[in-house]
Amino acid sequence: MSPAFLIIAFVTLFAAAAAMSLRNLVHCALSLVVALAGLAALYLNLGAQFVGFAQILVYVGAVAILIVFAVLLTRSDATPNQAILAPGWLTGIVVSAVVFATLGWAALNSTGLPKETPPAPETTVKNIGDMLMTQYVLPLEVIGLLLTAALIGAVIIAMKEGSEKAKIEDGGLKMETLSSPSSILHPPPSSGGHA
């Protein structure tokens, strides 16, 4: 395996481990960005140009920003001073280690994998477009419907409930409104803020 592949893989894995273990959530989100960019570099290394650029455009450019906005809107951006690991975390680690061991053993000892490396395929965006329009046109249309449904659904779920109830004059429970950016800036409620 080429040194480029090893370096990119190491960076990706390190960033993914950091994304799952840092205390501050915004640092986790930024490490996730590095992990996703490392994955895009791996795709480019394997010769899938379109997929690599699409990964950067969709994941780094959109999903990462979405995660960061969610962190800010749920007031999780301060470094938490309580425990970050759920109870039963040891079981979780053991299970993931077992999963990795199984998958790794299967990858290394499988006899069904091709032995010799075929030459690099010559894929152009034109071929991908042709296949999308002829062989994969049904999944393409279904994805369009799915994205529309997801967009409308996400907006409806996250919308503030009823504009009459969202008056901020009373000092009682302040309703979180999605449209006013100043709601991010109020000091976070003490110790998790139960209702």
Partner 1 sequence: MTPLQGCLLVSALLFAIGLAGAVTRRNAILALVGIELMLNSANLNFIAFWRYGPNPEALSGVMVVIFSIAIAAAEAAVGLALIIAIYRHYRTANLDEMKNLKG
Partner 2 sequence: MFETLDQIFVTLKHQAVGFFPDAWRPFVSALISISSIPLVFATLFAFVTVFERKGIGRIQNRYGPNRVGIPLTKIRLCGFGQFIPDGIKSLTKEDVVPYAADQVVHFLAPVVLLIPVLLAYAVLPIGRNMTAADFDAGVLFFFAVGGAVELSVFMAGWSSRNKYSLLGAMRAIAQMISYEIPLILSAVTVIMIVGSLKTVDIVAAQNHYTHGLAHWYVFTPWGLAGFILFFIASLAESNRSPFDLPEAESEIIAGYFTEYSGFKFALFFLGEYLGMFAISGLGITLFLGGWTAPFSFLTWMPSYLWFFAKLMVLIFTFIWIRATLPRLRMDQLMNFAWKFMLPMSLVNIVATGVWHFLGAGWPRWVVCTVLVFGAYAILGWGLMQNQKLGKRIYRFAG
Interface positions with partner 2 (CB under 8 A): 26-27, 30, 33, 49-50, 53-54, 56-57, 60-62, 64-65, 68-69, 72, 77, 124-126, 181-182, 184-185
CA angle 8, 48, 116 (to 5 degrees): 80
Q: CA 89 to CA 97: how far, in whole Å?
A: 12
Instruction: Tell which one of 111, 115, 162, 172 touches partner 1 (CB under 8 A).
Output: 115
Residues between 35 and 54 that touch partner 1 (CB under 8 A) = 35-36, 39, 42-43, 46-48, 50-51, 54
* DSSP assigned state of 117: P
Residue 169 Cβ vs partner 1, minimum distance, rounded to whole Å: 19
Residue 94 or 133 having the CB closest to partner 2: 133
Residue 89 or 168 having the CB closest to partner 1: 89
Q: Determine contact, residues 41/8, Cβ cutoff 8 Å.
A: yes
- The entry of partner 2, partner 1, none near residue 145 (CB within 5 to 8 angstroms by kind) is none
62 binding partner 1? (CB under 8 A): yes
- Count of residues interacting with partner 1 (CB under 8 A): 90
Instruction: Tell which one of 4, 7, 78, 99 touches partner 1 (CB under 8 A).
Output: 99
Q: CA 29 to CA 72: how far, in whole Å?
A: 11
Q: CA 128 to CA 131: how far, in whole Å?
A: 5
Instruction: Tell which one of 7, 154, 168, 184 touches partner 1 (CB under 8 A).
Output: 154
Residue 172 Cβ vs partner 2, minimum distance, rounded to whole Å: 24
The upper half-sphere exposure of residue 174, i.e. CA atoms within 13 Å in the direction of its Cβ, equals: 15
| Euclidean distance between the first and the last CA atom of the chain, given in angstroms as a whole number | 55
- The entry of partner 2, partner 1, none near residue 87 (CB within 5 to 8 angstroms by kind) is partner 1
Q: CA 80 to CA 118: how far, in whole Å?
A: 50
129 binding partner 1? (CB under 8 A): no
Tokens of 191: 């110790």
Residue 135 or 169 having the CB closest to partner 1: 135
Q: CA 159 to CA 141: how far, in whole Å?
A: 27
